[in-house]
Amino acid sequence: MHRRPLRAWLCGLLLLIGSAAVVQSQRWVRVEPNVPYDGRFAFVRLRYIEYGPPGWSYDYPAMERNFMTIVQDLTTMRVHARGSNVHDMDDPQLSRYPIAYLSEPGYWRPTDKEAAGLRTWLQKGGFLIVDDFYFRQWENFVFSMRQVLPDAQFIRLEASHPIFDAFFRIPSLDGMTHPDNRSARAEYYGIFEDNDPAKRMLAIVNYNNDIGDYMEWSGQGWYAVNLTNDAYKFATNYLVYALTH
């Protein structure tokens, strides 16, 4: 895909997005209808039954809208900018979509059926973005992910990995922290086919980070501009990398 000139793009665009951001209650979530399957890229969020707070829906749907607006502005991709999809992990329709987003895996415990559905999707070419957890929540994520991929290894990534140069060049991975705890310094892990970093990446794991929250509130100025910009850069790289590898 071709890159458009980046101009003084992000700061001004984020201010425009902010006026349209949707604030959703995290206690009760109105799930909007899924967008048509019409050839345009649709952002997919995975839904699950949590044993704690309703973490699957955090930042929904404002994050999706803000992110897709950025992608639409910076690339030539045809995207659904004002809508997105929510799918259960065992939904057969998930197979239509190459990329999915999993939020708050610290509170995720898949059923056998959900684990089998997600496993099948990953093995058939799906790419998973895992986001919004920190510190001891890692333990639950590893436990739950191994219900999906029992032999999965979580390989820490360096800035030299191609995913960090798929669209934006990200020279260092040291800048971001989880917005809920500034002492949680971001780390990035990959899950690979056959646990081989030379093979296809199945999932990118944002540990001690929450790029979704940075993108959700990008128009309100809650977070430093550099952190918000970095969140969009990481997210855009993930999308471009997954679609081109």
- 40 in a structural domain: yes
Contact, 240 vs 38, CB < 8 A? no
- 2 in a structural domain: no
Q: Kindly report the CA angle at 53 between 206 and 62, in degrees rounded to 5?
A: 60
- 16 in a structural domain: yes
- 92 in a structural domain: yes
Rounded Cα gap, residues 217 and 208, in angstroms: 18
Say what the pLDDT of residue 30 is: 86
- 194 in a structural domain: yes
The CATH number covering residue 37 comes to 3.40.50.12140
Whether the upstream peptide bond of residue 61 has omega within 30° of 0, thus cis, is yes
pLDDT at 5 over 90: no
Q: For residue range 50-76, what is the model confidence (pLDDT) as tens digits?
A: 665 568 999 999 999 999 999 999 999
- Phi, psi dihedrals of residue 44, rounded to the nearest 5°: -115, 130
The number of domains in the chain is 1
| Residue 44 belongs to domain spanning | 9-244
Average pLDDT, the chain: 90
Q: For residue range 209-225, what is the model confidence (pLDDT) as tens digits?
A: 999 999 999 989 889 99
- 4 in a structural domain: no
Report the percent of the chain where pLDDT is more than 90.
Answer: 84
- 134 in a structural domain: yes
DSSP 46: E
Give this prediction's pTM: 0.89
- 1 in a structural domain: no
